Amino acid sequence: MAQNEKLAELSSAGVAVWLDDLSRDRIRSGNLQSMVDEYSVVGVTTNPTIFAAAISGSESYDDQLHALAVRSVSVEEALRTITAADVRDACDLLRPVAERQPGDGRVSLEVAPGLAHDTDATAAEAAHLWWLVDRPNLYIKIPATEAGLPAITTSIARGISVNVTLIFSLERYRAVMDAYLSGLEQRLAEDADANLSGIASVASFFVSRVDTEIDKRLEKVGADHLKGKAALANAQLAYQAYEEVFSSDRWSALEAKGARPQRPLWASTGVKNPEYPDTLYVSELIAPGTVNTMPEKTMKAYADHGEPGTPVQQTYEDAASVLKAVADAGVDLDDVFRVIEDEGVQKFADSWDELTESVRGELQDKK
């Protein structure tokens, strides 16, 4: 099967193409493999919302649910067994990619969203999920809440590869990079000969949700001319921060020990406003050493008609001007980021609850 030229060119520009979706049907049907072959997909991300959609109404989980039901396992154990099985199978499918491209070929599995504000519980579940899936090309997703930051450091120090999720602000992104570097430093402090090359991390910087919230506020203050610009500017300046941190002396010392940079990952790249180009958050976020995790719809849109925009490294001055203009118009950016972080955690928690209830019902039906 021939590779799509547009996505192949995106990969050549340094953007790793990841699919923001997973299901047992997608794995078993060969669809995921075909996306690797045709769309240059080199990674997969999941979240509670994705699993809720995957399990709901699919017959692919019936045999496993029946086996779990007759063993009278708890709903929580069943849920983790089911999701870990899908992630493990996807890791196996992507293993050849991981062997060719260390850091890619990864599949992400998230800690329970209800733990987002509990450091110790988050770190403990991250370690459990790492053990449960038992694949070197796994990422454990940990939210970038204030409580999540020390859990990131702890997990990295334990040798667990982490996908830090729900990053919205530049300030929090810098704290995430610090948490990663601190974890690597802690690992070296505990074992000066530790091999850091096996640890990988990405930092998932969310995009479209920023525009959704800021656009509402811009409309209220009569600054419609700034709509659809803030999310890209925010992400572009995040890449500038990435370049600063990963060219620092602190990083150089870790790199000399085999450490890999924590790559920026553009998340929430499906356009929510139909007035915007459907490839906006792909075309305008092209930079070396990044990941763009896309819903299938967005990926196919770029494959069909996507065109590269201005390279991110040429946008910093304009991006800073955009965010200043948004703030000058009366939008409280700190409040925006607080609101969308809380909403992000709550959305995943609600999906987790929905998934839990769905599995509970299935277990009862399968007894």
pLDDT of residue 363: 86
Question: For 267-310, what is each residue's pLDDT tens digit?
Answer: 999 999 999 999 999 999 999 999 999 999 999 999 999 999 99
Residue with tokens 């990952």: 265
Question: For 220-254, what is each residue's pLDDT tens digit?
Answer: 999 999 999 999 999 999 999 999 999 999 999 99
Catalytic residue among 141, 220, 227, 257: 141
Contacts for 12 with CB less than 8 Å, ≥ 6 apart: none
Residue 323 has pLDDT above 80, yes or no: yes
**Residue 327 burial by Cβ neighbours in a 10 Å radius (0-12, 13-18, 19+):** middle
Percent of the chain with pLDDT over 90: 89
Query: Tokens in use for 150?
Result: 């020390």
Range(s) of the domain holding residue 30: 5-366
Question: For 73-100, what is each residue's pLDDT tens digit?
Answer: 999 999 999 999 999 999 999 999 999 9
- Average per-residue pLDDT in the chain? 95
pLDDT of residue 87: 98
Question: For 161-216, what is each residue's pLDDT tens digit?
Answer: 999 999 999 999 999 999 999 999 999 999 998 889 999 999 999 999 999 999 99
Residue 117 has pLDDT above 80, yes or no: yes
pLDDT of residue 297: 97
Q: How confident is the model at residue 58 (pLDDT cuts 50, 70, 90)?
A: confident
pLDDT of residue 300: 97
Residue 130 has pLDDT above 90, yes or no: yes
pLDDT of residue 56: 81
Q: Mean per-residue pLDDT for 317-326?
A: 98
From 34-43, 65-74, 121-130, 267-276, the region with the lowest mean pLDDT: 65-74
CATH number of the domain enclosing 249? 3.20.20.70
Q: Mean per-residue pLDDT for 20-36?
A: 97
Question: What is the model's pTM?
Answer: 0.96
Q: Mean per-residue pLDDT for 320-324?
A: 98
Question: For 38-52, what is each residue's pLDDT tens digit?
Answer: 999 999 999 988 998
The 3-class SS string of the chain reads CCCCHHHHHHHHCCEEEEECCCCHHHHHCCHHHHHHHHHCEEEECCCHHHHHHHHCCCHHHHHHHHHHHHCCCCHHHHHHHHHHHHHHHHHHHHHHHHHHCECECEEEEECCHHHCCCHHHHHHHHHHHHHHHCCCCEEEEEECCCCHHHHHHHHHHCCCCEEEEEECCHHHHHHHHHHHHHHHHHHHHHCCCCCCCCCCEEEEEECHHHHHHHHHHHHHCCCHHHCCCHHHHHHHHHHHHHHHHCCCHHHHHHHCCCCCCCEEEEECCCCCCCCCCCCHHHHCCCCCCEEEEECHHHHHHHHHHCCCCCCHHHCHHHHHHHHHHHHHCCCCHHHHHHHHHHHHHHHHHHHHHHHHHHHHHHHHHHC
Tally of structural domains, the chain: 1
pLDDT of residue 15: 98
The pairing of beta strand 290-294 with beta strand 263-267: parallel
Percent of the chain with pLDDT over 70: 99
pLDDT of residue 358: 84
Residue with tokens 């196996």: 92
Active site residue 367: no
Residue 1 has pLDDT above 80, yes or no: no
Residue 367 has pLDDT above 90, yes or no: no
pLDDT of residue 55: 87
**Residue 82 burial by Cβ neighbours in a 10 Å radius (0-12, 13-18, 19+):** buried
pLDDT of residue 224: 96
pLDDT of residue 361: 84
